[in-house]
């Protein structure tokens, strides 16, 4: 039913205000505001640990129409601070749905606001950069506007913020669940695979499933794992996961670990998203904050070595500065939207990474070959061992 007055407010640090109808949890949160252009996958986006510290504006208007299901969670709980949508979420209409988005958000303590001019908001983000915001939901429709704007202005931002520590696992664990397949759903690996240590900077579950499906026995270690911790598992390969925050901040402890592993072992290394940035920093490159980042499931990326164009899913607000790549590091992929770096490899070793998310299947299978490449590199190393 329509409300007599707005029940949610989005306040930008420059004083701009957006009023709408709140849903999900009550309360207030502060974060960086980004926009995502994907037409599907809102539940995966909200539970992707890479969105820690961010409120997500969805440019596609039909958010909530397929409901939610536990099978689509990428982490145990939502990580994005909140969501902004054009139309209020409707009741779900999908055979997989186990409940509505609004109730799911309320149970999990995340705020949503609907009835917003998301086109105007997206243009503002593109032109001015990702703003700091305060998002409030009050069923009574009463807001302290000055306090909201002050809270937005007081947000420290993501630069210099190490969020990987906040979203990583507390202790190591094994992962054997493979990708979803009809009609069984998710099944465990039934045969032995290559021993892989995955460093959890905020790993999505579907990345781990892709590793398992490609032929890996995966052991997940926390973001702060040392080279000794990793090598104690006698891995055949090292995987560096996605994650949130400023890569330079996480790199304070991740970069020395990666460099030590590269010095002490010749095993293949594969990184995705923040893992890509960690590897680049370890190899001597640098990262920079983007104006508004890349967030969506329609990003064209060119493989410079094959000429192939992949349609990819992306979620990052920092990027590797391709001009800083040292000798011996080859740029393998670039974004066709802005030419930014999307992949690297070492010229003489099976060490490579990409900025985008090959597990998200927007192509839908354009980029799955990267997992197969990782496994093939481990097989080749084993053959020469």
Cα separation values, 96 from 68, 71, 325, Å: 8, 9, 45
Task: Give the active site residue among 273, 276, 299, 316.
Answer: 273
Q: Grade residue 26 by pLDDT with cuts at 50, 70 and 90.
A: very high
CA 65 – CA 11 distance, rounded (Å): 26
Rounded average pLDDT over 44-50: 97
What's the mean pLDDT in 322-338?
Answer: 98
Give φ, ψ of 378 to 5 degrees. -70, -40
Q: Is 169 a catalytic residue?
A: no
| CA–CA distance, 317 with 335 (Å, rounded to integer) | 14
Which whole number is the average pLDDT over 186-199? 96
Q: Is the pLDDT of residue 2 over 70?
A: no
Residues 15-25: what's their mean pLDDT? Answer: 97
- What average pLDDT score do residues 67-90 get? 96
Q: Same topology for domains 8-154 and 164-384, yes or no?
A: no
Catalytic-residue membership of 71: no
Which two three-digit tokens encode residue 106? 């309320």
**What's the whole-number average pLDDT of the chain?**
96
Cα separation, 203 vs 271, in Å, equals 11
Q: Which CATH architecture fits 164-384? A: 3-Layer(aba) Sandwich (3.40)
Print the SS3 string covering 86-126: CCCCCCCCCCCCCECHHHHHHHCCCEEEECCCHHHHHHHHH
273 is catalytic: yes
**pLDDT mean over 137-147:** 96
Spatial separation of the C-alpha atoms in residues 98 and 66, rounded to whole Å: 10
Average pLDDT (256-268) is: 98
Q: Structural domain boundaries of the chain? A: 8-154, 164-384
Please determine, for residue 384, whether its predicted confidence score (pLDDT) is greater than 90: no
User: How much is the average pLDDT of 236-256?
Assistant: 98
For the cut 60, the answer to whether the pLDDT of residue 1 exceeds it is no
CB atoms within 10 A of CB 185: 10
Assign a CATH topology to domain 8-154: Glucose Oxidase; domain 1 (3.50.30)
């Amino acid at each position: 039913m329509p409300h007599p007055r707005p029940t949610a407010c989005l306040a930008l640090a420059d004083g701009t205000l957006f009023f709408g109808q709140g849903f999900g949890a009550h309360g207030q949160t502060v974060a960086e505001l980004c926009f995502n252009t994907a037409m599907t996958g809102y539940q995966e986006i909200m539970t992707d640990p890479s969105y820690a510290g961010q409120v997500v504006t969805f440019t596609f208007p039909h958010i909530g129409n397929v409901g939610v299901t536990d099978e689509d969670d990428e982490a145990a709980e939502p990580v994005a601070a909140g969501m902004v949508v054009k139309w209020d979420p409707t009741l779900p209409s999908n055979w997989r749905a186990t409940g509505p988005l609004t109730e799911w958000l309320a149970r999990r303590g995340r705020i949503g606001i609907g009835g917003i001019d998301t086109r105007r908001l997206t243009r503002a983000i593109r032109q001015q950069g990702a703003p700091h915001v305060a998002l409030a939901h009050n069923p009574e429709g009463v807001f302290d506007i000055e306090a909201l704007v002050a809270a937005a202005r007081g947000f420290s931002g993501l630069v210099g913020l190490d969020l990987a520590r906040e979203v990583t696992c507390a202790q190591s664990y094994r992962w054997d669940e493979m990708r979803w397949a009809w009609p069984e759903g998710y099944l465990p690996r039934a045969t032995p695979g290559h021993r892989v240590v995955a460093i959890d900077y905020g790993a999505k579950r579907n990345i781990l499933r892709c590793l398992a499906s490609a032929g890996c026995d995966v052991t997940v270690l926390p973001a702060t794992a040392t080279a000794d911790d990793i090598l104690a598992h006698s891995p055949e390969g090292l995987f560096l996961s996605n994650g949130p925050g400023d890569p330079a901040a996480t790199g304070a402890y991740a970069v020395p670990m990666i460099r030590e592993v590269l010095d002490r072992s010749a095993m293949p290394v594969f990184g995705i998203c923040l893992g890509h940035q960690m590897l680049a920093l370890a190899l001597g490159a640098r990262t920079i904050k983007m104006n508004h980042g890349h967030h969506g499931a329609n990003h064209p990326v060119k493989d410079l070595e094959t000429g192939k164009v992949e349609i990819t899913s992306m979620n990052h607000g920092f990027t590797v500065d391709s001009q800083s790549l040292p000798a011996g590091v080859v740029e393998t992929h670039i974004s066709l939207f802005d030419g930014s770096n999307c992949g690297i490899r070492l010229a003489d070793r099976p060490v490579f990474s990409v900025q985008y998310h090959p597990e998200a299947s927007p192509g839908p299978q354009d980029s799955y070959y990267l997992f197969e490449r990782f496994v093939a590199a481990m097989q080749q190393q084993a053959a020469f061992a």
